[in-house]
Chains A and B, each alone.
Chain A
Amino acid sequence: MGKPSDLVQGTLDLLILKTLSLEPKHGWAIAKRIQQVSQEVLQVQQGSLYPALHRLEQQGWIRAAWRSTETGRLAKFYSLTRSGRRQLEKELAQWERLSNAVDLVASMA
C-alpha cells in the first residue's frame, strides 16, 4: 500500500458529514468507513479527526450522544443535524464545481 494521499484542506469536513449522512457513527468507525469506501486511498490522519469532529459539533452541524457499540462498549456517536444536512449539500455542490473544474483543466491542457 502506497502512502495515502493527504486530504485536501477542508475536504475532511465533507467526508465526515457524508459518512454520517447514512447513520450515526463514533470517531474510529468514521475513520474506518472513509478508508474502506475510498478503497484505502483516503486515510484520515487520526490526529486531525477528533478536532474536526469537535469543530463540526461546535458549529451545530453534528450532534453527539453516548450509546453502546455492537460490542457493548459505550462510545460517543455522532449524527447529522438538520443544519448539518444542509451544510453537506452546500459542500457537495461546491466539491462538484471544484472537481469538474479540475477535470476540465486536466482533460483540456
Chain B
Amino acid sequence: MSESRTLDRLRLGLRSLFARRRVEAELQAELDLHVEMQTAEYVAAGVPPREARERALRLLGARGAVEEECRDTRRTRPLETFLQDLRYGVRALRWNPLFAAMAALSLALGIGANTAIFSLAHALLLRPLPVERPAELVAVGDPRRANSYSEGGMQDYLISTPMYRLLRDEVSAFNGLYASGRAGRVLVGADGPDAAGGEPEAVRARIVSGNFFSLLGVGAWRGRTFTAGEDRAPGEAPVAVISYDYWQRRFGGESTAVGRTLLLNDQPFTVVGVAQRGFFGDVVGGATDIWLPLAEQPQLNRGHDWRQRWDVQWLLLMGRLRPGATVEQARGEVQATFDRVMKSRAGGLIDPAWLPEDLSQLRVPVGPGGHGFSALREYLRQPLPTLVALVALVLLVACVNIATLLLERATSRQKEITVRLALGAGRGRLVRQLLTESLVLALLGGGLGVVVAWGADVGLLALLDLPRSALDLRPDVTVLGFTALVAVATGVAFGLVPALAATRSALAPALRERSRSTAGGGSGRGSLARLLVVGQVAASLLLLAGAGLFVRSLRNLQTADLGYESHGLLMLGVDPESAGYAGDRVGPMLGDLLARLAAVPGVAAVSVSENGIFSGTESSTAIVIAGRPPRDDDEGVAYDRVGPRYFETVGIPILRGRGIGPRGVAGAPPVAVVNEAMAREYFPGEDPLGHRFAEKSKPDVVYEIVGISTDARDHDLRGEVGPRYYAPLLQAVGDVSAFNVELRTGFAKAAGDSPRLEAAIRDAARAVDPRLRVIGPLAVERSIEAWLRGDRLVATLATVLGLLALVLASIGLYGVVAHATARRTNEIGIRMVMGARRRAVVWMVLRETLLLAGAGIAVGLVAVLGSARLVASRLHGLSPHDAPTLAAAALVLLVVGLVAGSIPGARAARIDPMRSLRQE
C-alpha cells in the first residue's frame, strides 16, 4: 500500500472521529446538492418545480438509509457508532435523572453485594500469597491446620521440629523448605526505658525457620530479615522481624523501631527489621505481626522445648520446587522419609503407643502452597455457596427492576423509536443503541458497586470478628474484572429484552395509535413487564423466606438449652508449664489457684477441667465396657477430666449417684460420671451405676461409674448431645498440659463488662506465681457467640439482602402499576363519568397490584419448597418448610405490595374525569 494512500485513510479516520460534525455536514451538503441538481434538470425539462423536487427526492431513495450506508463505509464506523450511542445514552439518562439515580443505585447495591462476596472468596481462596513465584510453592502438612498443635500420637497433618529438619535435608525435589508454626499466645510487654504502663498487648506471632523470608523472596522494608543461621542455636540476643502494618501500628513507622527491644512473653527480643510492605505472612485470614526464629521456640513458650520432640507436631512446611521437579515427586519423597522414620521409630525415640496399628494410614498431605495456609478458609467455605446464591438473587431482583423501568420508558419512547424505524434506521442499530444506554447504566452501577463492596467487606470482616488487616480485600485486577463482567452481563441481561421488545412493533399500528390508548394496559409490552415483576416478587420471597429461616435458626441456636446456665460463667486458661510446674507440683499449684480464685469477691464457685466449655479443645476416645466385647461401630466418646465441684460450678445437675468429689485424688480408684446420652447408648434398659469401663488404648485404667449427669452442650450447639463421660482431673494431672478454670460469677457477657472482676481474677492467678500464664477470663456466652459467627454472618446477610430485595420489589411493583394506571387515565375517566365510585377505582388498581404480588408469591413459594433441601443442612431446629416463616414472608410482601399499589390507586381516585377526557 502506498504511503499517500495510508495517509489518506488515516486522515479520513481521524476526521470521522474528531471532526464528526463537519463530516456529517459535508454528507448532508453533498446529498442536498445532488437533489438540487436533479431538480434543476427536471425543471429544465419542463416539470413544475414542486413536482420536480419530489421526483428528485424519490430518485435518490430513502435518504436516511443512503446516509447510513455512506456512514457504514467508514472504517471507524463501529467505534463511531459506539461513541454516538454512548452520547445518546448519557443524554437519555440525564433527561431522566431520577430514573437514572434509582437504577444506578439498585445496580450498585446488587453489583456491590456480589463484588463484596467475590472479593472475600477471592482473598481467601484464589489470591496467591504476595511473594515471589507463588506457583512454585508446595505446602507440606494440612494447610487448614495453621493454628493447630498436636501432642502424643503421630499425626500426618502437622510436622514436628525434628521431622522438619530431616525433610529439609532429604527431599531433593525442593530448592528449600521452611517451617512455620503457631507461636501460641504472645504478649508484647512495655519495652525498655520508654515503657508505657498498662496491660501487655496480644499480637499474632509466628515461629518460622531462618530461611522463611529468603525462600519466599520477601525482602526487608527497613533493617534486615532473618539469616539462615538464626535458627541453629538459641541466640544470645534473640531477634524478631515485624510486619509493615505492625510497624505502623505500634511504632508509627519510625525508623528507630529497628534495634528496639520488645518484651515477648517477658523475654527480650531485638527488632532487626520490618518486612516488605504488603507482606502479611503465609497465613491467609490471620495477618502476622511478628516473626520469630524457630530456635527461640523454647524461650517463647516457657517450659515447652519442642526442638527434639517427635510427638509435638505443630509446624506446617512450605517448599519451593526445584526447576523441573513436580508436586508428585515431592509428595513421594516426603512420604518416603516420613515412612522410614515411623518404621524405625526415629531410632526408638517414638513411643510405639503413639503410632496407629496400621502405619499406612499416615499420609502427609503435600500439595500446591501458593495460596498459603489458612484456618479461616475451611471455615468460610461452608457458608460461601449460600452467600453466593443470596447475592445472585438480589442482583437478579435489581436487574428485573431496571428491565421493568426500561420497558416502561421504551413504551413512552415508542413514537420516537417508530419514527426512527420508519426513517430507515436499522433495527439492529436501534437495539444496539438501547443496549448501550443500558450498559452506561450498568457501568455506572458497577463503579458505585465497587465502593459499596468496599464498605460491605469492612462490615463482613466485623461480622466475622476479624481485624481489618486479616484479609487483603483491596480490589485488584481480578476483582475489578469480575465487577466489570457482572456489570456488562447485567447490562445486557436487563437491557436486551426491553430493547428487543421496543423495536419489535409493527410500524403502522404504532404510528396510527394515539399517544394514549383507550384500550389500556393489555399491550404485549405491558404483560412482559408484569411477567418480570411476578418473577421479581418470587425472587424476593425466596430471599425473605431465606432470611426468616436463617434468623430463626440462629435464634434457635442462641436460645438452645445448654443444660446449664452460661450467663455469668467465665473460663480462665492456665498453662502451668509456663511457670515451670510439672509432675507432682502441678496439683498443689492448682489447689492454691482454685482457693485464691474462690476468695475473689464476686466469684461464687470455682472448678477446673482439661477441656473447659466452648474453649475449642475437646477430647474423645474409644471405650470398652468391662465384661463385654468391644463394639466395632464405636465412634468414640467425648470426655473431660474435671476437678472437684465441677458439676456445681457449671450447673450440670447430677441425676443419680454423685459427682466428682475432692476425694478423686491421685491413687484413689478411678471413678467416672456419664451423661444421659452415654447411659442410653451403652446401657439401654440397665442401671449404669457400678459398671466399669476403660479407654481402648489404656486398658489398665478402669473407671467405675458413680454418677449420671444430664446432657450438657459443652462444645457444640447443633445436633444431639453425644455420649460423654467425666473423669477426675486430679488423678491424671501429670498427663494434662493445659487447664481451663471454670468460674461461676454474678457477672456476664462480653469481656470488659466487669473489668474490675477480671482484673481481680488475673491478680489472684498472679499471686500464685507471677510467671504463670493465663488466658482470659473469657465469658462462655462470648465464646458461644464466637462459635456462632458463621451462622450470624449468614443470618445478618440474608436479612440485609432480604430487605434490599423487598425495597427493590416494591419499587418494581409500584412502577408497573403506576405506569399501567397512567395509561388507563382515559378509561378511568370514562368509568367515572359513567358513574364508577372512587372506591371502585382504587380497588381496581389495588386488585391489579394484589394479582401481581399474589402470583409472585405463589411462584416464590413453589421455588422455596423446591430449593428447601439446599438450605436444610444449615438450619437448626426448624424445617425449611417452616410454615410460620413462609407465611410471614408472604404477608410482608403482600403488605408492601399493597402500599406500593395504594399510591397509584390514590392518584387514580383523584383523576378529574373531564380533564382526563379532554387530554385525549
Contact = CB atoms under 8 A, between A and B. Distances in A.
A76 B26 contact: yes
Contact of B8 (A28, A51, A63, A73): A63
26 contacts: A26-B33, A27-B34, A28-B38, A45-B61, A46-B38, A47-B61, A47-B62, A48-B69, A50-B34, A50-B69, A51-B70, A51-B73, A54-B70, A55-B73, A58-B9, A58-B73, A58-B75, A60-B1, A60-B8, A63-B8, A66-B26, A73-B33, A74-B33, A76-B33, A81-B8, A82-B4
A7 B62 CA distance: 20
A83 B5 contact: yes
B751 interface: no
A9 B66 CA distance: 18
A13 interface: no
B66 A28 contact: no
Interface in B30-69: 30-31, 33-34, 36-38, 59-62, 65-66, 69
Interface string A65-108: 01000000111100001110000000000000000000000000
Contacts of B1: 60, 83
Given A50-B31, A50-B69, A60-B1, 10 more contacts: A27-B33, A46-B38, A60-B4, A60-B5, A60-B6, A60-B8, A74-B29, A76-B29, A76-B33, A83-B5
A55 B74 CA distance: 7
Interface in B282-320: none
B4 A58 contact: no
A26 B8 CA distance: 19
Interface in B426-454: none
Contacts of B59: 46
Contact of B66 (A50, A57, A82, A83): A50
A9 to B, nearest CB: 15
B686 to A, nearest CB: 98
Interface in B187-211: none
Contacts of B33: 26-28, 73-76
B interface, size bucket: 20 to 34
Interface in B1-23: 1-2, 4-6, 8-9, 12
Contacts of A66: 26
A28 B8 CA distance: 23
B72 A50 contact: no
A83 B37 contact: no
A28 B12 contact: no
A26 B26 CA distance: 13
A81 B29 CA distance: 23
Contacts of A27: 30, 33-34
Given A47-B66, A50-B31, A28 B37 contact: yes
A102 B463 CA distance: 84
Which 4 A/B pairs are nearest by Cβ-Cβ distance? Answer: A47-B61, A60-B5, A51-B69, A55-B73
Contacts of B9: 58-60
Contacts of B62: 47
Interface of B: 1-2, 4-6, 8-9, 12, 26, 29-31, 33-34, 36-38, 59-62, 65-66, 69-70, 72-75
Contacts of A28: 33-34, 37-38
Contacts of B38: 28, 46
Contacts of B26: 66, 76
A59 B13 CA distance: 11
B5 A46 contact: no
A59 B12 CA distance: 10
Contacts of B73: 51, 54-55, 57-58
A57 B59 CA distance: 23
B207 to A, nearest CB: 71
Nearest to B38: A28
A87 B59 CA distance: 30
Contacts of B4: 60, 81-83
B74 A76 contact: no
Contact of B74 (A45, A46, A58): A58
A79 B61 CA distance: 25
B65 A47 contact: yes
B162 to A, nearest CB: 78
Nearest to B69: A51
Given A60-B8, A63-B8, A82-B4, A51 B30 contact: no
Interface-centre pick from B2, B8, B60 (highest chain A CB count, 10 A): B8
Contacts of B65: 47
Contacts of B70: 50-51, 54
A54 B26 CA distance: 12
Nearest to B65: A47
Nearest to B77: A58
Interface in A25-53: 26-28, 45-48, 50-51
Contacts of A82: 2, 4
A27 B31 CA distance: 9
Given A58-B12, A60-B9, A75-B33, A47 B72 contact: no
Contacts of A73: 33, 36
Contacts of B72: 51
A59 to B, nearest CB: 8
Contacts of A45: 61
Nearest to B36: A73
Nearest to B71: A54
B659 to A, nearest CB: 97
A48 B70 CA distance: 9
Contacts of B36: 73
Nearest to B37: A28
A66 B72 CA distance: 22
A74 B25 CA distance: 13
A108 B29 CA distance: 51
A46 B5 CA distance: 27
Contacts of B37: 28
Nearest to A58: B73
A70 to B, nearest CB: 11
Contacts of A74: 29, 33
Nearest to B67: A50
A27 B2 CA distance: 26
B569 to A, nearest CB: 84
Nearest to B60: A46
Nearest to A46: B60
A88 B31 CA distance: 26
Contacts of B69: 47-48, 50-51
A47 B58 CA distance: 10
A54 B70 CA distance: 6
Contacts of B5: 60, 81, 83
A47 B226 CA distance: 80
B534 to A, nearest CB: 47
B745 to A, nearest CB: 87
A51 B60 CA distance: 12
B64 to A, nearest CB: 11
Nearest to A74: B29
B61 A46 contact: yes
Interface-centre pick from A55, A59, A60 (highest chain B CB count, 10 A): A60
B34 A46 contact: yes
Contact of A76 (B12, B30, B61, B75): B30
